[in-house]
Amino acid sequence: MPAIAALILTELITEANKSNSSLYIALMDAKKAFDILWHLGLLREMYNLGLRGDNWLFFKNWYEEVTSKIKWNGNISRPIQEQQGTFEKNQLGAYIGCTYCGIPTVADDVTFISKSPIELQTMLDVQAYYANKQRYLLSEQKSTILVLNDKENRSWSLNNKELSTSESAVHLGIERHSTSKSGSKEERRISGKTYCDPSACHEIHQLAEIADQYNLPSPHDLIDNPPIKETWNKLVNQTISSHFILTLQQESENKSTLKYLNLSDTVPGKPHNIWTSCGNEPFAITMAHLKAKIAVGTIVLQSSKAKHSKPEVSPICQLCHIETEDMIHFLIKCTVLKTTRSPFLQELKTFVRTCLRGENDETLFHELFYNNEYLARLIIDCSFFHFLKNTEKTRIETISRGLCYKLYQKRATLLADNS
Ligand SMILES: [Zn+2]
């Protein structure tokens, strides 16, 4: 538990300062400890620590024949055997209910504390010997010694290189000072009576960065004046969802495949009309899946096939052979699909007539059904049109969901027959 380790250090610093006795603290930094972990060395250490039989074999099998492929410039390399490193996405651990009980993540943060400078040097020598044996690297530049209550000029070395001594250093994400008596805010929070979540303390610096990214108040300020949990949760949810919706909207502006998807009315936490209108019936959900793919432009039509393949692939519709098969051609224009399309379009027209209220009915109706861009929007995502009530949007989506599914199915059958 990082908080407990941090507490021990805090207590020792407080005691040394109170009794004005010398204390030497070596904060060690392992270079990329998790990336360069040596598998065979790890297995040997596990055995020496008493892990035997099936338990040991479990780890051996787990680390054996791990391969990775490298992707570079669109090419993927042949598999490479991995003999070092822990798997970040495949960490060992288990779920109890919905609580993840994982492996500790601060295993590379080692601190030596001693009242004697010679004893500290011995500790450093032992660690250097062990590091060399286990093939991990200690950083002479990033490891540092904190000296408390000793004015003498002392030095320590690691692998025959002198280590720096400094006034302050970060251990377990907490800044330590050799001079200050009270320590940092986080330190006080740990040693005081305030409850502190261990992972929150460990990652407080990362938290500050995240808070900054979303324009939230800094955790450094919040420690002294914590908000009520409900208020805070609400603020975080609001800020983060609006941040992502804004990013989504900005990014979608330059993407032509998303032009039939209405993102400007996105409400945080509320699913899109495509999903809210389909209910729980499995077949309707299958159809909604296809509809969503059409809305985000990921279904493969002949035009997209031509765009992403060799020049000999033609963008021309393989059903009618008249023109490029893009979204408008497929949904509205292709004559081969006309008999499939007509009954749905007729139903849509009849229904939209009942939705129109007001004087410009005819103009609007005409635009919706005779301007292909508007019609495509009505079919793909009718939430573009604010004159529609929510119940009407649901009904239109139900009709267009069926239309898209039938068109796609018919197209697939015809293409299969052709080949
Ligand atoms: Zn066609």
- 142 lies in a domain? yes
- 187 lies in a domain? yes
> How deeply is 310 buried, as exposed, middle or buried, from its count of CB atoms within 10 A (0-12, 13-18, 19+)?
exposed
212 near 218, Cβ under 8 Å? Answer: yes
| The predicted structure's pLDDT at residue 107 | 59
Which residues, including other chains, have CB under 8 Å from residue 286's CB and lie 6 or more apart? Answer: 405
**Model pTM above 0.75:** no
How much distance in Å is there from the Cα of 332 to the middle of ligand 1?
10
Identify whether residues 6 and 152 lie together within a single domain.
yes
Backbone angles phi, psi at 373, to 5 degrees: -65, -45
Q: Which two tokens stand for residue 104?
A: 């500790």
Count how many domains the chain has. Answer: 2
- 243 lies in a domain? no
| The predicted structure's pLDDT at residue 402 | 96
Residues with CB under 5 A from ligand 1 (ion): 317, 319-320, 334
Give, for all 419 residues of the chain, the pLDDT tens digit. 566 677 788 888 888 888 888 899 888 887 776 667 788 888 888 888 888 888 888 888 877 777 778 888 888 888 877 766 665 545 666 777 777 666 555 556 778 888 899 999 999 898 888 888 877 788 877 788 888 888 888 889 888 888 888 766 655 556 666 554 444 444 434 333 333 444 555 567 777 888 887 878 887 777 777 888 888 888 888 888 888 888 888 888 888 888 899 988 888 888 999 999 998 899 999 999 999 999 998 898 988 888 887 777 889 999 999 999 999 999 999 999 999 999 999 999 999 998 887 766 888 898 899 999 999 999 999 999 998 999 999 999 999 999 999 999 999 999 998 87
295 near 379, Cβ under 8 Å? Answer: no
Residues written for the chain:
419
Q: Quote the CA–CA distance of 13 and 148 in Å, as a whole number.
A: 8
How much distance in Å is there from the Cα of 365 to the middle of ligand 1?
25
Return the H-helix or E-strand segment holding 57: helix 53-63
How much distance in Å is there from the Cα of 299 to the middle of ligand 1?
16
Identify whether residues 170 and 300 lie together within a single domain.
no
Q: Give the residue from 158, 178, 194 where a domain finishes.
A: 194
Q: Which two tokens stand for residue 221?
A: 């300020």
How much distance in Å is there from the Cα of 303 to the middle of ligand 1?
11
How much distance in Å is there from the Cα of 302 to the middle of ligand 1?
10
> How deeply is 204 buried, as exposed, middle or buried, from its count of CB atoms within 10 A (0-12, 13-18, 19+)?
buried
Among the listed residues 281, 284, 291, 404, the one whose alpha carbon sits nearest the alpha carbon of residue 340: 404
Q: Quote the CA–CA distance of 200 and 185 in Å, as a whole number.
A: 13
Backbone angles phi, psi at 66, to 5 degrees: -85, 125
Identify whether residues 28 and 168 lie together within a single domain.
yes
How much distance in Å is there from the Cα of 419 to the middle of ligand 1?
16
| The predicted structure's pLDDT at residue 339 | 96
Measured in whole angstroms, how far is the alpha carbon of residue 123 from the centre of its chain? 40
How much distance in Å is there from the Cα of 335 to the middle of ligand 1?
6
Identify whether residues 290 and 185 lie together within a single domain.
no
Identify whether residues 308 and 408 lie together within a single domain.
yes
Where in the sequence is the domain holding 104, given as residue range(s)?
A: 2-38+84-194
**Hey, what amino acid is at 58?**
F
Q: What is the 3-state secondary structure (H, E, C) of 127-189?
A: HHHHHHHCCCEECCCCCEEEEECCCCCCCCEECCEECEEECEEEECCEEEECCCCCCCHHHHH
How much distance in Å is there from the Cα of 407 to the middle of ligand 1?
11
How much distance in Å is there from the Cα of 380 to the middle of ligand 1?
18
| The predicted structure's pLDDT at residue 187 | 41
